[in-house]
Amino acid sequence: MNEMNEVRKPPVATTGIIGWLRINLFFNWTNSLITLFVIYCLYQFIPWILDWTIFSADFKYNYLGEQITNQEMCSRNLDPENGGACWAVIYVRFYQFIYGFYPKVEVWRVNVAYVMLAFALLPLLYAKLPYRKYFLYFTYIFPVIAYFLLNGGLGFAEVSTNKWGGLLVTLVLGCTGIALAFPIGIMLALGRRSKLPVISMMCTLFIEFIRGVPLITLLFFGMVMLPLFLPEGIDMDGLVRVLVAVTLFQSAYMAEVIRGGLQAIPPGQYEAAKSLGMSYWRMNLLIILPQAIRISIPPIVNTSIGLFKDTTLVIIVGILDLLGIGRGTLADTNWLGLSYEIYFFVSLVFFIFTFGMSRYSLYLEKKLKTGINMGAD
């Protein structure tokens, strides 16, 4: 009987690497066949892609050792049998990809803004950051600093936004759109659920209208129609017009996402907050929204990633974001035919940012779940 009580270890074949392989990759014969097929595909694909992107690729010089200044000098055009990617186009045009046509003398300002953006994001990303409170103050004033840095004023020479481009425009549109749309979306979501029929109707109308219209239409609207609503003599900057359109679009989606979260909050939470004497705003800010937003993190990040990629649509109103610069480069006779390299690079940059966002959302979900059992009963 005593031996029955001894701790029995699970059978060897179900734990460790072998156990994992057996359960996940070779569970039965179909499973094994699929595993083998995928391994074969990877075996064919990975060496090829590594060779093309790295081992046979030109970065600055071609295989003759000359510095590449146009597409004819790329190894793959000189010797189609052997050459790989010709990254020289990215190397030569790197400045434009990152800054657009921002004047070279002033470009340090963009670099400072990039570094400051990283610092502004830090306290949002890491709750345990030392001196987080002070970092957060910085985050709040960062948009103002960034505005003067990038646009000019306060002693900085003015740089018109039509000189902005590339990653700079992509980040300005993406960050501002997401950051502004979040609070507006919350207000719209609360408004739509409001008991006051006028507010609720206005919010619903706004959300449904914006959601029912493609972003491109809104961009045209921003470009063409918005100036008509402004008093005469006031000229609205092109990028600002686009920003307004992007923000409106994103806030409508954000509102619906947050409304979904709000609907998941049991009525008892409202009742408990009310019975403690909390006002509408306190109840929402302290009790309802923290829970609703927590539930909505995956869709919030999802729509944010969507917006970040949708900013590429600004190309149709003549603003050159990262993709726009890429397409502009392709139209240059010097770099004709390098579409693989350029689209690969642009995709990679977008992927780095969106993948970062997605990992961050996972981290957030995990962090917020620890110690809190939302489905407690």
Residue 288 beta carbon to other proteins: minimum distance, rounded to whole angstroms: 10
Residue 274 binds other proteins, judged by CB under 8 A: yes
Q: Is 376 in the site for other proteins (CB under 8 A)?
A: yes
Q: Is 194 in the site for other proteins (CB under 8 A)?
A: no
What percentage of the chain's residues is helix, strand, coil (to nearest 5)? 75, 0, 25
Q: Which of 82, 279, 339, 347 binds other proteins (CB under 8 A)?
A: 279
CA-wise closest residue to 346 among 312, 319, 316, 314? 312
> Is the Cβ–Cβ distance between 124 and 132 less than 8 Å?
no
295, 273 contact by CB (below 8 A)? no
Q: How open is the CA angle 135-138-139, to the nearest 5 degrees?
A: 90
For 9, 15, 230, 283, 308, the CA distances from 18, given in Å and listed in that order, are 16, 7, 69, 53, 42
Helical pair 339-369 and 322-331, crossing angle rounded to 10 deg: 170
- Residue pair 22/12 in contact (Cβ under 8 Å)? The answer is no
Instruction: Report in angstroms how near the CB of residue 287 gets to other proteins at its nearest.
Output: 6
Nearer to other proteins, 157 or 286 (CB): 286
Exactly one of 291, 334, 354, 358 binds other proteins (CB under 8 A); which one? 291
Site string for other proteins, 230-269 (x = CB under 8 A): ------------------------------------x-xx
State which of residues 25, 129, 187, 278 lies at the interface with other proteins (CB under 8 A).
278
The region of 14-22, 171-179, 226-234, 280-288 touching other proteins under the rule CB under 8 A is 280-288
Distances (CA, A) of 107 to 100, 102, 149, 165: 10, 6, 10, 12
Q: Contact at 8 Å (CB) between 165 and 99?
A: yes
**With respect to other proteins, which residue has the nearer C-beta, 12 or 376?**
376
Q: Give the integer Cα–Cα distance in Å for 326 and 320.
A: 9
Per-residue CA distances from 26 to 19, 175, 332 (Å)? 10, 45, 52
Among 50, 125, 225, 276, binds other proteins (CB under 8 A): 276
Query: Is residue 51 involved in binding other proteins (CB under 8 A)?
Result: no
Choose which of 132, 163, 193, 294 interacts with other proteins (CB under 8 A): 294
According to the binding rule CB under 8 A, does residue 282 interact with other proteins?
Answer: yes
Closest to 123 (Cα-Cα) out of 140, 142, 141, 136: 136
Site size with other proteins, rule: CB under 8 A: 25
Contact region with other proteins (CB under 8 A), list: 27-35, 75-83, 237-245, 289-297? 289-297
Query: Of 161-169, 227-235, 285-293, 337-345, which segment contacts other proteins by CB under 8 A?
Result: 285-293
Which residues lie near other proteins (CB under 8 A)?
266, 268-269, 271-279, 282, 286-287, 290-291, 294, 371-377
